Amino acid sequence: MNKKVVFILFLAISALSILYLYSFGPMAGIRTAKNFNPASLRPSTSANLNIANKNEIFNTYHNKDVKENYYTIQIPKDWLVNAGKDPGSYNVTATNSSTNGWIGLMDVPDNSTLELYILSQDEPKLKKSATAYTRVNYEKTTVSGNDAYELSYTSISGNDTYHTIRVYIAGQDHAGLIVLSSKQQNIKNMQQIFDTIIKSFSWENK
């Protein structure tokens, strides 16, 4: 076998090895991590808002992880905010620790609509994964001028019943998704906080 053939084989094997490492091996996470923008976790401004006759401070976050899907969201200043698993997402936890949520992006297939995807794909998955899933409400609404759908349900975790609100917000590329959950006995106290978070969502590049 001549040197030219050996060299070509060496290049081919090297390319396949690198592809494996970045796609399936230990370096796979490095490629994904590059999609996170550190600025997304730094609140840009704070605002005092009147919630149930109490002054609450909300931080404004500008998520700039995924191009064409930049968005703004307000989250209570005393909540813990971390980057979610996927670029464009946040994990949030209230100080009472029994209230938490997830804010991020959801890809809707081109051959579906947002509502059809919710009812035919997302809710059926919830029914299978959530213990004692019971739908409370489902309705079409708007968030910052965008078509949106709100699904609320109860489920059981351990010995507690949780009330979860999922709001799906139409976008030009991905849909926005806000998931907020609290123990059933706390939901009335948390409702206005939840509403404020949801209403604050807006796309930055419409």
Q: What is the pLDDT of residues 53-94, one digit of tens each?
A: 889 999 999 999 999 999 999 999 999 999 999 999 999 999
Please name the residue that has the structure tokens 């001028």. Answer: 145
Compute the average pLDDT of residues 149-163: 97
pTM for the whole structure: 0.83
Q: pLDDT for 182-196, tens place per residue?
A: 999 999 999 999 999
Report the alpha-carbon distance of residue 133 to residue 16 in Å, rounded: 45
> For residue 141, which amino acid is it?
T
Q: Residue 97: what pLDDT?
A: 76
Do strands 202-203 and 90-93 pair parallel, antiparallel, or not at all (unpaired)? unpaired
Q: pLDDT for 84-119, tens place per residue?
A: 999 999 999 998 778 999 999 999 999 999 999 999
Report the alpha-carbon distance of residue 82 to residue 74 in Å, rounded: 14
Distance set, CA 190 to CA 32, 74, 201 (Å) = 34, 15, 17
Q: Residue 198: what pLDDT?
A: 98
Q: Number of helices (H) and strands (E), helices first, in the chain? A: 5, 11
Distance set, CA 185 to CA 2, 96, 154 (Å) = 77, 13, 12
Q: 84, 79, 32, 48: which is closest to 63 by C-alpha?
A: 84
